[in-house]
Amino acid sequence: MNEQILNATAKAMVAPGRGILAADESTGTIKKRFDKIGVENTEANRQAYRDMLFTTPGFEQHTSGVILFEETLFQKSLAGVPFPELLASKGVIPGIKVDKGAQPLAGGGLEETITEGLDGLRERLQKYKAAGARFAKWRAVITINEEAPSDYAIHVNAHALARYAALCQEADIVPIVEPEILMDGDNSIEVCEEVTDIVLDAVFAELSAQQVLLEGIVLKPNMVVPGIKCPEQASVQEVAEATLRVLKRRVPIAVPGIAFLSGGQSDELATAHLDSMNKIGGFTWGLTFSYGRALQAAALKAWGGSNVEAGKAAHLHRAKMNGLAALGQWDKSLEKAA
């Protein structure tokens, strides 16, 4: 493990005004996105779509890294350049999703999940590194309902996250540690704050126990928001304050940065929440974005399978808006001016 390489890469991933594009949708997930715009889910179309995103002029000014799906890591651009090489030439760090998805948690009984993919990971990481990946991502999923999350689900997911992180660092690959508390329920923001606190406490306890170098990770947490079915939705300021309360309580200052997932929030709301946190300030880590849908939804719709220039324009706009939010310099009027 090269601590200097890990720390330098992690810092670059959360550089001021730049964030991470999550373009790591599985074949099944991207099919759902393509179905909505009437595009057939073929390898050629997936390649063309990712090519549109990665060749957007200027997106690298606001984007530090891109999380790739395994298929994409080994694909080439339409001009014949391997995607990792194309991204690196723009100063964008290539990354790779390494987990195999969430599966039902055996013995849980609460419809909870455990993320799989540790078997063979050491060998896969070497293959990914040779292809150009410099960081990785593993997502643990935590559900909130009347009975969940259980201590059991929290513990096994935290343990798996730390195991993955240790293996990544062994290979000099920066692990993005992603414990996501889903926002699908009807829980209040107070419940989300309590669960986020407990989960982050468990995750950092496991990272410590497994001797993961905190200076060489990036945390990708959920924001503290009420469930989407909750009758009382919180204001942007309330979300920002609640999220920062938990992070300041649980995230060690050794961690270089935090790159939030959008978790199903609308494009603009995810941007507003990030901006509000950076306007409040008072923290030491880089605080930025690692968005999928919140960066891509507008671009996907504008592209529609053929309109490349419109797709690039929509992608660049969202990247720019989130880059400003990562600096605390976004304003809603900038959206209307687009």
What is the Cα–Cα distance from 237 to 228, expressed in whole angstroms? 17
Which amino acid belongs to residue 147?
A: E
3-state class of 48 per DSSP? helix
> Does residue 178 have an active-site annotation?
yes
- Taking the alpha carbons at both ends of the chain, their separation in whole angstroms is 45
> Does residue 146 have an active-site annotation?
no
Full 3-state SS string of 297-327? HHHHHHHCCCCHHHHHHHHHHHHHHHHHHCC
What is the Cα–Cα distance from 36 to 109, expressed in whole angstroms? 34
CA 220 from centroid of its chain's CA atoms = 6
- What is the length of the chain? 338
Q: Which of 97, 220, 312, 320 is catalytic?
A: 220
3-state class of 22 per DSSP? strand
Q: Write the burial class of residue 180 (CB in 10 Å: 0-12 exposed, 13-18 middle, 19+ buried).
A: buried
C-alpha angle 230-233-237 in degrees, rounded to nearest 5: 150
Q: Which of 112, 178, 193, 206 is catalytic?
A: 178
Q: Hey, which residues are catalytic here?
A: 178, 220
